[in-house]
Amino acid sequence: MSIRLRLTLWYSGLLAVALVAFGVVIYTVVYRNTMDDLKSQLKQVAENTDVFPSRFDLRVARITGSFDPNTIYIQLVSYTQNKNGQIRQITPNMLATDSRDELSFPFPVLKDVQDRFVKREVDGMSFLIYEKSVTLSGSNNLVGLLQVGAFNGREESMFSQLRTVLWIAGVLGLAAAFALGMFLSRKALRPINRVTEAAERIQSGSGLGLRIPREKPNDEIGRLTDTLNVMLTRIEKAYNHLEETNAAQRRFVSDASHELRTPLTTIRGNIDLLHKIWTSEDEPGRQDGLSPAEKKEMSLEAVSDIADEARRMSALVNDLLSLARADAGYEMEMELIPLRQLAEEAARRASFLPRKAEWNIGPIDALDGAWVNGNRDYLLQLMFILIENGFKYTPAGEVRLYAVKEENRIGLVVADTGIGIAEEDLPHIFDRFYRADPSRGQVAGTGLGLSIAQWIADMHHGSLEVKSIPGQGTAFCVWLPLQAVPSVE
């Protein structure tokens, strides 16, 4: 059973109970008011009727007050001669006429006489009768029964019509309410149907870009629609990010495989060369014509190539390990570090790196008293990545390290006068394995250094900025948040 039908049935059931209760209340109020008025009139006439009782005779002496003799019927029953009762006197409107026989109310035997209201059928007509016992004055001996009645057929007909009207109105009202309830529930649940249709379309492959239209943003359904649209937006962003991550991961694996294949091919080729050089003399009928000095020279060159490629692979594996830690959410151990000592250590070690450009330091006075919360080893690695890049891409000129300070952060700048970076390449230099076309094939590298540098800067709640002019040089600036200077203790 659908929610729409259940809601309508509940609504219709509650309305039916309310209609029945309303009808019962209306009918009861009308019935009681009408019958109470008639009973009060009959009782008043009975009280105003003086009966002259005696042991041998019984008659109506007089009737005081006013009453309608055409609608009120009085009958006096005597039990003086017979305990079963005998009609002693009746009002003139109960006498026989041309069109009917004489009316007489049925009456009880002596032992059943009591003051009460009863309904009787007389000649097919309904009467409400008030029966009042008549006793001898000065004693409790019951000698008669006074019956005052009125025709209540009109009232009964009115009550029958009222019941019919209430039943018909209730049934029609319930049917109209059921139809209206189905219409309103359909209209109220239409947004939920749209939500279901949208979910089905998304499930069938229509895409996460689908949004649910809303009509009334201020009601519960409108808020639900807004919440679902926000959720779909977040799911779409997460899905797109996951797709981008998967694509980047595939590119990462492909590029890593490519970068590893090159040194492995070189190593394997040199090993095969060494194997041929030193096993050719052992094969019968084969002479390569190489002297021992030539063999030694070729062997040393092959070993040197193997060592270079092994170092390259080692550096690549270390870089991949750092990026794997970054992807796995690696948390660095942090401590307060004096930044000037760190910069001087990086500058001292950088002076031993192979280079063609001049290596200059300063000014670094901004680092005096500057402390940062970070990891010493990773910050040194970050500085070396920037310095090595400066040496690689500066065939002539200088590479300089200096410091700048701005409000509550400190910046370490590595600037060179090298080949620079094209404007279209700047947005991609921090991507993994990305290398600008002019440098590809000219300068050795894996394209992972700046990705690692960006990750280290992010882990230190810092930022890495770059400015470059092709043919004039590049400047990388690492901004780090300053920390309070620790006390002497």
What is the tens place of the pLDDT at every residue in 198-241? 777 777 766 667 776 766 656 667 777 778 788 888 888 888 88
CATH superfamily for 331-481 is Histidine kinase-like ATPase, C-terminal domain (3.30.565.10)
Closest CA to 199 of 224, 220, 228: 228
Query: CB within 8 A of 103, min separation 6: which ones?
Result: 73, 90, 94, 122, 123
Percent of the chain with pLDDT over 70: 82
Q: Could you tell me if 147 and 89 are in contact, meaning their C-beta atoms sit under 8 angstroms apart?
A: no
Mean pLDDT estimate for the chain: 80
Q: Is the pLDDT confidence value at 55 over 60?
A: no
Residue-level pLDDT at 302 = 82
pLDDT in tens, 334-381: 899 898 999 998 888 888 888 888 899 888 888 888 899 988 888 988
The pLDDT tens digits of the residues spanning 268-312 come to 888 887 877 777 655 554 555 667 787 788 888 888 888 877 877
Taking a C-beta distance cutoff of 8 angstroms, is the pair 363, 403 a contact?
Answer: yes
Q: What is the pLDDT of residues 105-148, one digit of tens each?
A: 899 998 888 999 999 888 888 889 999 988 877 677 888 888 89
Show the 3-state SS of 102-159.
CCCCCCCCHHHCCCEEEEEEECCEEEEEEEEEEECCCCCCEEEEEEEEEECHHHHHHH
Higher per-residue pLDDT: 246 or 167: 167
Tell me the two tokens of residue 112.
Answer: 């059943």
Distance CA 140, CA 328 (A): 111
pTM over 0.75: no
pLDDT of residue 440: 42
